[in-house]
Structure 1
Amino acid sequence: MADQAAADFEPALDRLIEPALSGLADGLAAESGLGVYEQRAVLDGAREALTAALLRKVNRLLLLELNAARVTGRLTAADSAGRWAEWLAGTRRPGFWASLDGDYPALARRLRAVIDNRCAAALALARAFAADRAVLAGLPGVGPGDLVEVEFGAGDSHHGGRTVALLRTASGRVVFKPRSVAVDQRLGDLLEVVLAGRSQADRIRVPEVVACDGYGWAEHVGHRYCADDAELSAFYRNIGHWLAVMRLVGGSDLHAENVIAAGPVPVVVDCETLFTPHAKAVPSGRGLANDRAAERVADSVLRTGLLPGRGQALGWRGVDSSAVGALPGQQPAISMPVIIGAGTDEARLGYQMVPAPAAGNHPSPDPVLSRYWSRVVAGFTELTEHLRELDRRGSLAEPLNAFADCPIRVVVRNTETYMELGRMLWHPASLHAESPAVAQAADLMAKHAANACAAPGDAAVIQAEIAELLDGDVPVFGTTPREGRLTGPRGTAFGPVRNLVQAALDRWRTADLELDRQVIQGTLVSAYLNEGWLPDAKPMIASRVTVDRLDQRRRQAAAKLMHGVRDSAIRAEDGSVTWIAPVLNQTGWSLQPLSNDIYAGISGVAVLIAAYLFETEHDRADAVSGLDSLLDDVLRTLRAIEDQDHRQRAQASMALRPDAPGGYVGLGSRIWAWLLLRRLGITESEDGEVLRRAAALAAQLPAAIADDGNFDLFRGMAGAVVPLLRLAEHSGHTQGSDLALAVGDRLTAAAIVDDRGARWGNQQFPDGIGGTAHGATGVGWALARLAAAGAPTGDLAEAAFAFEETLYSAKLAGWIDLRDGEHTAAAWCHGAGGIGVTAADLMTPDDLRSRDILRRAAAATWADGLGWNHTLCHGDFGVWEVMDRALTAGVAPQGVDRAALDAQVLSGLEEFGAVSGLARDAFAPGLLSGVGGVAYQLLRMHPECPLPSVLVPDPGEASPL
C-alpha cells in the first residue's frame, strides 16, 4: 500500500524530474508508431507514477529540511502558512537538490537511479505497445483504437523500475506485464485438459495473453458481482477447483489482488508463482512435533495464499490479504504515515489508522463465507479426485512437463519485509550515512534468513537485494521448473538445481488430502475478527431430547471426545506433542500448531487432560488409555515453548514485543493455567517449578501492560488481575498482588466515564463495548475482584456494570451487542452468557442485583444461545454454565431443571457430534473454542465434581482440589 503522506510536496519535485521527463518526451516523439496524444498519455502516466514513487522515498527528508529551515530562522513570512509557501518556493529554485548533497551524499545517485529507471521503463512500454498494437486488438476487451491512458505502478517495481501497467485504449483495456507470460499460457492449457468438457462460461480460467520477448500482454478482467445464489454457489465451488489445481502445481502467493471475481468465475490474473520450491522448516526450539506440524501446514493447500489467514508482519498484523478472505468489516485498520500540519511550517510525519485496501476478489458486496464454505470443500474434493484419475491414466505428465522452461517467480521474502527494509534504507539518517545503514540491513536480512526457511543467507545475494532496494525496486528471484536453482538480483544465484515439476508432482501424490480438507475447513475462522460473529448455519437443536441414563451418556460422550484428543495428537520421538487447529493469537485466527494459551492452545489442553485424569481417579469419568503419557508430553511441550521464548528474549539484540497480558490469550492465561494444574495435582519439583514458571510469566507483565492498548479480560490487562491475585495467594509473595494493583491503576486512568457508566475503548471500538470477553462487564468483574482484595476500585466496577445495564433491552430480553448495535447476543464472549457467569461469580447471598442479572441472563441464553455449536465460548456448553449457576441460585427459567438441562445439551451433542464454531468439521481440542471445553463441561456435570469454571480466569484458591 502506498504511503499517504506525500501529496503536498509534489511541487518540490518539479526541478528534479522535469529533465528526465523531457528526455522521455523526446524518446516518445521519436517513436513513429505513437500518435501525439498517445505520447501524452504515456508521459502523463509516467509523471504521476514517478512523482508518487519519489515522494514515498523523500517525504521524511523534506519534512526534516522544512523543520531545519524553521528552527534556524531562514523562513521570514508572517505566519505559518506563509512560511510553508516560502519554503516550498525555495525547493523549486535551481540548486535546491544539489544543496542537499553535503548532508545526504547518497541522495542524488539514488534518486537518479529511480528516475532514470522509471522513465526507461515507460519508454520501453510505449515501444512495446507501438510494436504490438495490431495483435493486441485480438485480445478480449481491447479492440482497435488509440492509446488514451496509461496507469503505471499496479504493483511493486522490479528489474529497473518496471511495473505492471494498465492501458486504456479508445475501445477497451489491456494489461502490460514486464515478465514472460509463458507460465500463464501453460496454466491455461492445463485447465483445458483438466476441465475438458466443462462450460467455458462458468469454469475457472486465466486471462488470455499475448507472449512477447521478456514481456507480455494480458486481457483485462473486469470485476462483476454474482447475480444470484446459483452464481455464488458456483463461484465458491470454483474456488475449491483453484485450490485443487494450485495444490497440484505448487502455486503460492495468490493474495486478494491476484484473483478477480468475474461473476461466478474467480479468474487468477497473476500466476507467476507456480512450482514453488519446498523449503524445510527452521527448527523452532518448541519440539519436533511443533516443527513437523508447522511444516505439514506450510506444505498444505494453505500455502496457495487463497485461503484466509492473518498477517504477522509489522504494519500488517492481523490483516487478511487472501483471495477468499479479506472480508469487508473484518479487517483491522492499518497504521499509515501521514503529514500532520500540512501546509504549515510545522508539518511533521505522523501515523493514521486507515482501512485495509479493498480488491476485486469478492463475488458479492458482503460475502457470507459460512453459507458457501461447504462448496469450497466439495469443489476441492471433486476436482482432486478427477486429477487423481487423470494421473492414473498418465494424462497429467504432458501438460505439466510443458511448464519446464517457463520463467517463474519464487517469493523468498515477503513484500512487507522488503517494504520495511526499503523505508529504513531511504530514511534521512540512511541517506546521510549509507554504509552503516546498509550494514544494518544486511544484518537484519541475515537474521531473517536464519529464521525463514526460503530466504537466502548468502552475503553476496543479500548485498544484491540491498542494491535493488537502494534503487527503489523490490528484489525478484526466479527460475524455470526444469532448472530449479534460483537466479536473483544483479546476476546472483542460490539454491540447488532440481526439477520443480517432478518435485511438486511427487509432493502432490503423497499429500495428506484429508489434512488439506481439514485445513480448508479450519481456515474459515481466519476470515473473521471474532469467531461466531456471523452464525449463518441452521441451528442444531436436538430433534429428540431424552432424560434417561444421563450420567452414563455423559461419561461416554466425555470419553469419546478424549479419544479424539488423544488420537489427533501429533507426537514426536523427543516427547513433544501438538495439534493442528484454528488458534487465536495476537493477530487473529490462524490454522497452525497450538499456541501456549488457555483459550485455544496447549495450556488449555493440559488443563483438560489433567482434569479428566483427576475425575477418572475419583471414578467420575471412564478411563481412556494413554492419557497419562499424553499429559506428560503436553507438559514437556509447554515447558519447551516457555523455555524457548525465554531464550529468544534473552538473546535478542533488541527488545522483542511483549506477549499480550490477557486472561485467555496472553501471559495471564498461562499463569492461571499453571496454578490450576497445581491444584489438579501436577507434582512440584524440588525448586517449586510450577510456581517458579508462573512467577516468571508474571515478571513479563510490566512490559506487556506498558505496551498494551487493550484493557479487556480476553487479551488485555484486566485478564491478568485475578491470576496475579491468585499467584500471590499460592506463592505467599506480593509480586502478584502488587502487579494487580498496578493494573487497577491503569484501568482507572484509562476508563471512559460519563453518565452512562464506565467502559474502555480499543482500536476497533474506541468508545467501548459491553460483554465479558472484550467489554465493560469483563473489566468490571476484574475490578470488583480487585476491590474484594482491598483495592479502591469498587466504584469503578459498579460504573462498568451500570454501563452494561444501559445496553439491556427489555423488549428484546437481552443485552445489545454494540458490534452491530441492533441485536442482542447470548454467547459468553459478547453476550448474556458471560454477563450471567460473572454476575454469579460475584454474587453474595444478599446481592439482589447480581441475582436479577443472572436471572435475565439465564432466560436470554436459554432462549437464544442453544444450537449454534457446542463450545464454551459461544455454544451449548457455555449455555449450560449459565443455566447451572441459575439453577443453583434458584433463578432458572420456569420449567427447566437440572435433568432437563443436561438432557438438552447431551441430546444435541449425540445427534450432531461435537461442533466447534465456524470451523464446524475441523477438530479443535481447545478449551474455550474447541471440543476440549465440551469434554471439560461434561466432567463438571457430575454433581460432585470440584473442577472450577474456566469461564472466568480464576484457577481458584491455593488448596488442592
Structure 2
Amino acid sequence: MDRWRDGHGPGLGARLAEVGLDEAGLRDLLAEDRAALAARTTRPAWAETVEAALAAAAASRRSAEEADWRSAEEADWRAALTAPLQPFVAIAADRFLVGARRIATERTVDLAALTDRFAAALGRRLLAVAARTLVSELHRRRAAGRLAGADGRARFADFVAQLCDPAGLAELVDRYPVLARLLAQAATAAARSGLELLTRFVADRDDLVGTLLGGDDPGPLVAVDSNLGDAHTGGRTTSVLRFADGRRVVYKPRDLASQVSFTGFVDWLEQRAPGLGLRGVAALTRPGYGWSAYVDATALRHPGQADGFYRRQGALVALLHALHATDMHYENLIAAGDTPVVVDTETLFHPALGEPVGTGDPAADLLTASVHRTGLIPVIVVGDQGAMDLSGVGGDRGGTAPVSALDWADPGTDRMRLTRRAVDFAGGRNRPRVGDALVDPGAHEPALRAGFRQAYETIRAHRREFTELVASCADVPVRLVARPTSAYHTLLTETTHPDVLGDALERDRAFGVLWSSVAGHPFLAQFPRHEVAALWAGDVPLFEGTPGSRTVRVAGDGEPLPVPLARCGLDAALGKIAALGEADRRHQEWIVAATLATRRPVDGRHAAAPTSRSVADAAASPERLLATACALADEIQTRSVTGADRVNWLGLELVDDRQWLVLPMGAGLANGHLGVALFLGQLAAVTGTARYAELAHRAVAGVPGLFQLLDARPDLVAAIGPGGLYGLGGIAYGLARLSTLLADPGLAGQARAAVDLAAAASAGSAAVAWADGGAGCLAAMDAVHAELGHAPAASLARGWADRLVDAIERDELPTGVGFADGVAGIGWALGRHARTGGARYARAGRRALRRAGTPGGDGATGYGWCRGAAGLTLAHHALAPDEAVRLLTDRPLLDDLSLCHGELGVAEATGVLDGGAARRRAGRILDAVDRYGASCGTPGNVPTPGLLTGLAGIGYGLLRLSGAGPVPSVLLLEPTPEPRTSG
C-alpha cells in the first residue's frame, strides 16, 4: 500500500473511486491470489492470441540450427532475440496475408513484399516491448547455471535456443503474463490496423492516383513504412506508401480537415502577399482518415536561396500564431528546397488545457500565448546530456541529444545489460541545406523577421476577412495535447521493465504518476483514466475536439469528458487576432529574436569582446547622461507587460551558467523585476518623474505573494539561496533601497521579511561567493542594516562574516578569482564589514584578496566586473591604482555595455579610481548608445530589461556617471548615503 500511496500521491483516492474501490478494497485486491482472480474474471481476448502463438511454436518446433539467426557470432543480436517472438509475428503476418488476399489484387498490391515488411516491422516492435524482460531472464538463467557454452556468446546463443523451444516460450509467458498480454495485443493491433489501411487504399486508389499522383498509374504498392509516427487508437500510425515507380503518398489515420483548412489559409495569405511563396500540402480526405501528398526534403540549389526559405518560415510563424497553433516541432516541417512546408496541422486552434486564463504574471501570460507556443521558433529542451533546440527551426543534426538513450552493453553475450548513454541527434528534414551542410537560422534572422512582419501586417490589414475565415473552422476536428508526448513515450518504455510484467497491478501502480501530477485540478484529473487505457493498448493517448467547442473527447470512442475547457481554441484565436497591433508585434518580434539568440552556445567566460564598430569621443555632459538614462527607462516601460495590478517583463536569462532562456522575469535583483524597479526608483528619486516611481511600485507588486509561497516552501527558499545577486540577500537589499527611494514603509516591511528568508536559506547553504552565497549575503545585510537599522540583518551579516573567516582559514574558497563568483568578492565583503566589525575581518579579507591576485594577473577573464579586471580593481584598488587605470582605460570600447561583464561594469571601477577617466569614456558609451542602441550582455546583444546584463543596468550605470544626486553602487550593494537608522 505504501508504494501505491507514494506512486499516486494525493491522486490515489481519485483513482480508486473511478473503479469503485477504496484503500481497503485495494488491499484485498493486492492480497488476492492468481487462481482466485482468474476464477472470477472473464477470459481476456489476448489470451487466445497467446495460446495460438504457443501452439504455433509447438507446431514449428524450430531448433537453434534451423533458426534464421544461426549463431550469435554470425547474426545481429536483435535478430537473435526476436527469434523467440516469431510465433507472435507469424500469427499476425498470417492474419494480415489472409485478409489482404481477400482485398487486393496483384495488379494493385505486391502482397509478398508487403507481408515481409509487415513481419519485419512487427518483429522490431515486439522486441522493443520484450527486450528488458528477455535480458533479465538471460541473467536469471545464467545465475541458476541453466546456460551451456564455453563463453558469453555461446551461452547467449543457448539462451535464445531455449526460448525458441516451445517449452521455453511457455515458461516465459507464464512467468511474465503481462508481457504475453502486450505481445499479443501488439500483434493483433498490427494485423488489424494493417488490413484497415489496405482496405482503405484499395477503395481509394483510383481517386488517390487522380488527386495526388497526377493521374499517372504508379504501379502496384510495394512497401508500407509504418511506425513513422506515434501509435493511436489501436495501433494506427501514419504510414508512407511506396509504389513500384518509386513515388509515395502518406496515409494518416485521422481526419485531414485541419490540413485542408491550413492549405486554405496559406492560399489566402499568398493571394494577399503575392510572391511570398508559401505552399500547403494536397490531400484526399475521407471520414476519419485521409491521404496526403508526400513532401520530399530537397537541398537548396544555391546558398542565396536561404534568405527566401527563412522569410517564408517567418511568415509561417505569423500565420500559425494567428491560428493559435502549437507543437510545430522539427518533425512537423519539411524543407522542400527553399520552401518550408508544414506537414502536420492537427494542433491548430489548440486551447489551454486546465490552465487558468491568467496566471497573475502578465509576462508569463504573454509568453504562454505568444509566437513561442507555435514551436516553430526555438524551443530549448534541457536534459541530462545538455540542451538542444527541438523547434521547427532547430533539431540540429549531429549534436548531442539532450536526453540519454537506452542502449545495451555487451550485446549478444550473457553479460548483456541495459545502459544509458549520450547519442548523436539524428535531426529531421526541416532544415534547409546546401548539399549536406545545414543552414543556420541565426544567420538569416533578418529574413525570418521580415517574413514574420509581412505576414503579420497582411493579416492585420485584412483582419475582418481573416476572422471570417477562422470562424468557418469552428467544426474542424483538431487534436488536444494533454501532456507532452515524450512523457507518454517514457511511460511506455519504463513500464516494459520485468518488475512490472509479472503482475498487471504492478504496471497499473507505475501509471500512478499520471494521477499524482493532476491531483486537485478537476479538468486535468479526468484524463488519467483514459490515458492509462490507451497506454495499456500500447498507444500514445489521443484526445480531440473542435475549435468552436469546449468539449474534449477521447479519440476512437468519442466519449466526451465531463469537465469542459475554460475557453475554446476558436475564442483564443479570435482574441489573438483582435489584439494584433504595433505593441503586440513588437513583443512578438522580440520573442522571435530572443529565442533565436538562445541557440547560441554559452562559452562560460563572461568576457565581452572589443567593438568592431566606429565610436566617437562625444561630449558626456551630466544632462546627456541623465537624458539617455531616461530614454532607457522609457524603453523599459514600452517593453513592459501590464496586468491587472502589476507589471512584468520578458527577459533573456542565463540559467545555471549553461543555457540562455526566454523567461518571465522573476523577483531577483540581478535578472528580475526587482532590479528593474531599483533602477526606475533611483531614476524617479533623481528626476522627480512620478511615472518611473509608479512603474517601480507596480513592478514589485507581486513580492508579497511570492513571500507567502516561500513561507510554505522551505525547499524553494533553499533553492533560491542567500546570495547577493541571485538570492534572497539581493532581494532584501533591493527592497530596502526601494523603501527609501519610494518612501514606502510597506516595502521596508517586505525587506525585513526577506531578511528572515535569507536567514533560513543561509542555514543550509555552503555557497560563499558574492553572487549566490555568503559574501553577497554579508554585503546585502550590512546594507539593509544601514538602510533600515534592522537588527536581524546585522546579526545575519555577522554570522556570515564569521563563516567566511572560517572558510578562509580552512582554505575552502572558490577556485575562481573574480568578484561575482570568486575570492575577490569575498575579500571585499569582509573588508567593508571590518569597518564596523573589527580587525579580524579585515585581516581575513586581505588574505582573500591576496589569493585573488592583482587586476593585471592571469586569473581575470577579460575586463568586466563579474570575473574580469574591473572586479579585481574594485576589490582592492588601493594596491596599484595607476596600473589599474591604464589597464581599464587604454583599450577599445567593448561591444557589451552591461554592468556584469560590459563597459559600464568597467566604468564602475574606473569611477572609483579616477572619475576623470570614467567621464572621458562616458562620451564613447553615449555615442555607442546613440548609434547602435544599448548593447546588452546577451547573445547577439538582444535587449533584455534586467539589471546585471540588460537595459536597467546600463541605465543605472549612466545615472551614476551623470553625478546627478546620490546614486550608490548596486554592484557593490551599497546603501543609500546618509542611511536611516530607525525601523
TM-score (norm 1): 0.77
Identify the match of residue 559 of structure 1 among 622, 630, 634: 630
The residue that corresponds to 2:560 in the other structure is: 493
Which whole-Å CA distance do the structure 2 matches of 1:123 and 1:805 have between them? Answer: 75
Q: Number of residue pairs matched?
A: 863
Identify the match of residue 362 of structure 1 among 413, 427, 431: 431
Q: How does 1:262-341 map to 2 (within 5 A)?
A: 262-278=336-352, 281-282=355-356, 289-290=360-361, 292-311=362-381, 318-327=387-396, 333-341=402-410
1:58-85, Cα deviation, whole Å (9 max, x unpaired): 4433343334334444446555555444
Contact 2:724 2:779 in 1 (8 A): no
Name the SS of the counterpart of 1:235 in structure 2: helix
* 1:524 partnered with 2:593: yes
Which whole-Å CA distance do the structure 2 matches of 1:332 and 1:746 have between them? Answer: 41
The residue that corresponds to 2:761 in the other structure is: 697
Q: Percent identity?
A: 24
Which whole-Å CA distance do the structure 2 matches of 1:537 and 1:46 have between them? Answer: 58
Name the SS of the counterpart of 1:941 in structure 2: helix
Contact 1:610 1:680 in 2 (8 A): yes
The residue that corresponds to 1:412 in the other structure is: 482
Name the SS of the counterpart of 2:427 in structure 1: coil
* 1:601 partnered with 2:669: no
The residue that corresponds to 1:112 in the other structure is: 184
Q: How does 1:134-213 map to 2 (within 5 A)?
A: 134-138=206-210, 139=212, 144-169=218-243, 170-196=245-271, 203-213=277-287
1:723-757, Cα deviation, whole Å (9 max, x unpaired): 355478754357646887999999979x9xxxxxx
The residue that corresponds to 1:839 in the other structure is: 872
Name the SS of the counterpart of 1:180 in structure 2: coil
Which whole-Å CA distance do the structure 2 matches of 1:797 and 1:40 have between them? Answer: 80
Which whole-Å CA distance do the structure 2 matches of 1:697 and 1:59 have between them? Answer: 46
In the alignment, structure 1 segments of 5+ residues that lack a partner are: 1-6, 706-710, 752-757, 760-770, 809-814, 816-825
1:343-380, Cα deviation, whole Å (9 max, x unpaired): 44444333222344412222244544444333333323
Identify the match of residue 449 of structure 2 among 363, 366, 377: 377
Amino acid of the structure 2 residue aligned with 1:928 = L
The residue that corresponds to 2:31 in the other structure is: none
Amino acid of the structure 2 residue aligned with 1:456 = L
Which whole-Å CA distance do the structure 2 matches of 1:919 and 1:604 have between them? Answer: 20
* 1:732 partnered with 2:802: no
Amino acid of the structure 2 residue aligned with 1:267 = V
* 1:865 partnered with 2:894: yes
Name the SS of the counterpart of 1:902 in structure 2: helix
TM-score (norm 2): 0.75
Name the SS of the counterpart of 1:409 in structure 2: strand
Contact 1:370 1:918 in 2 (8 A): no
1:483-534, Cα deviation, whole Å (9 max, x unpaired): 5522114543225499755663354224456324422322433334576979
The residue that corresponds to 1:387 in the other structure is: 459
1:855-895, Cα deviation, whole Å (9 max, x unpaired): 55665xx43623xx543356xxx2233255357657x9xxx
Which whole-Å CA distance do the structure 1 matches of 2:234 and 2:842 have between them? Answer: 67
Amino acid of the structure 2 residue aligned with 1:376 = L
Name the SS of the counterpart of 2:250 in structure 1: strand
Offset, 1:415 = 0.9
Contact 1:260 1:266 in 2 (8 A): yes
The residue that corresponds to 2:417 in the other structure is: 348
Identify the match of residue 897 of structure 1 among 917, 940, 948: 917
Name the SS of the counterpart of 1:168 in structure 2: strand
Identify the match of residue 93 of structure 2 among 6, 24, 28: 24
Which whole-Å CA distance do the structure 1 matches of 2:424 and 2:571 have between them? Answer: 42
Amino acid of the structure 2 residue aligned with 1:698 = S
Which whole-Å CA distance do the structure 2 matches of 1:689 and 1:482 have between them? Answer: 47
Contact 1:570 1:579 in 2 (8 A): yes
Amino acid of the structure 1 residue aligned with 2:246 = S
1:696 to 1:531, Cα distance in 2 relative to 1, 3 A: farther
Q: Which moved more, 1:433-442 or 1:263-272?
A: 433-442
Which whole-Å CA distance do the structure 1 matches of 2:191 and 2:965 have between them? Answer: 76
The residue that corresponds to 1:880 in the other structure is: 904
Name the SS of the counterpart of 1:354 in structure 2: coil
Name the SS of the counterpart of 2:525 in structure 1: coil
Which whole-Å CA distance do the structure 1 matches of 2:497 and 2:717 have between them? Answer: 23
1:609-655, Cα deviation, whole Å (9 max, x unpaired): 45446xx3xxxx322214445444444423422432553x46xxxx8
Amino acid of the structure 2 residue aligned with 1:293 = A
Which is greater in Rg? 2
Which whole-Å CA distance do the structure 2 matches of 1:463 and 1:26 have between them? Answer: 31
Offset, 1:797 = 10
Which whole-Å CA distance do the structure 2 matches of 1:115 and 1:739 have between them? Answer: 65
Amino acid of the structure 2 residue aligned with 1:722 = A
Offset, 1:154 = 1.6
1:221-266, Cα deviation, whole Å (9 max, x unpaired): 2223434565222222212321232233332211111111223211
Q: Which moved more, 1:90-99 or 1:675-684?
A: 675-684
Name the SS of the counterpart of 1:435 in structure 2: helix
Contact 1:281 1:295 in 2 (8 A): no
Q: Which moved more, 1:163-172 or 1:686-695?
A: 686-695
1:385 to 1:786, Cα distance in 2 relative to 1, 3 A: closer
The residue that corresponds to 1:546 in the other structure is: 618
Which whole-Å CA distance do the structure 2 matches of 1:960 and 1:503 have between them? Answer: 51
Which whole-Å CA distance do the structure 1 matches of 2:403 and 2:646 have between them? Answer: 37
Contact 1:162 1:178 in 2 (8 A): yes
Higher helix share: 2
1:248 to 1:745, Cα distance in 2 relative to 1, 3 A: farther
Identify the match of residue 237 of structure 1 among 307, 311, 328: 311
Amino acid of the structure 2 residue aligned with 1:693 = L
Which whole-Å CA distance do the structure 2 matches of 1:957 and 1:686 have between them? Answer: 18
The residue that corresponds to 1:641 in the other structure is: 706
Which whole-Å CA distance do the structure 1 matches of 2:226 and 2:495 have between them? Answer: 24
Offset, 1:578 = 2.0
Offset, 1:161 = 1.2
Contact 1:250 1:304 in 2 (8 A): yes
Name the SS of the counterpart of 1:150 in structure 2: strand
Identify the match of residue 289 of structure 2 among 199, 215, 226: 215
Offset, 1:37 = 8.9
Amino acid of the structure 2 residue aligned with 1:835 = G
The residue that corresponds to 2:47 in the other structure is: none
Amino acid of the structure 2 residue aligned with 1:880 = L
Offset, 1:931 = 0.7
The residue that corresponds to 1:90 in the other structure is: 162
Offset, 1:914 = 3.3
Q: Which moved more, 1:881-890 or 1:404-413?
A: 881-890
Name the SS of the counterpart of 1:113 in structure 2: helix
1:429 to 1:197, Cα distance in 2 relative to 1, 3 A: same
Contact 1:558 1:938 in 2 (8 A): yes
Amino acid of the structure 1 residue aligned with 2:905 = E
Which whole-Å CA distance do the structure 2 matches of 1:71 and 1:140 have between them? Answer: 59
Which whole-Å CA distance do the structure 1 matches of 2:290 and 2:806 have between them? Answer: 62
Offset, 1:537 = 14
Which whole-Å CA distance do the structure 2 matches of 1:18 and 1:744 have between them? Answer: 70
1:609 to 1:701, Cα distance in 2 relative to 1, 3 A: farther
Which whole-Å CA distance do the structure 2 matches of 1:744 and 1:97 have between them? Answer: 66
Q: How does 1:797-812 map to 2 (within 5 A)?
A: none
Contact 1:916 1:930 in 2 (8 A): yes
Contact 1:579 1:593 in 2 (8 A): yes
Contact 1:184 1:272 in 2 (8 A): yes
Amino acid of the structure 2 residue aligned with 1:233 = D
Contact 2:733 2:751 in 1 (8 A): no
